[in-house]
Amino acid sequence: MLELGQKIGKTLVPPVVVELLGDVGVGKTTFTRGLAKGLGVKEPVTSPSFTISKTYALLEGKNLIHYDFYRLKDPGLMSEDLSENINNGNNIIIVEWADSVADLLPKDHTTITINYNDDGSREVIL
């Protein structure tokens, strides 16, 4: 997941919104770590499960913003934060567990689904 994320990260140019789908533990945050590395992020990338969002500075005033709405049935003010960041053309946004904010995602966002296979490998659907 790290390697795939890194390869994709090297190709991304803001603005981009990516929705990550998959069960708990399937590798969504690991994928995001790789993506961040591909974008040149040097600091550790951790899951925003408890903080809801984390921002990582990229070059030239651009940002990688990672959201995790797993613990929020009602995103409240975080929906405003997400909307503002989506409308900022300098951001690459990764959203996990986007059910509660699906109506805020742009129609042209990318969805990546990660599934476990019976043999322990993963299937990634773009």
pLDDT digits (tens, 9 = 90+) for 62-85: 999 999 998 767 778 888 999 999
Q: What is the overall mean pLDDT for the chain?
A: 93
CB contact set of 31 (below 8 Å; sequence gap of 6+): 1, 2, 4, 5, 20, 112, 114
Q: What is the pLDDT of residue 72?
A: 65
Q: What is the pLDDT of residue 96?
A: 95
Domain 2-125 grouped into CATH 3.40.50.300 = yes
Query: Average pLDDT in the 39-52 region?
Result: 91
Q: Distance between CA atoms of 57 and 122, rounded to whole angstroms? A: 29
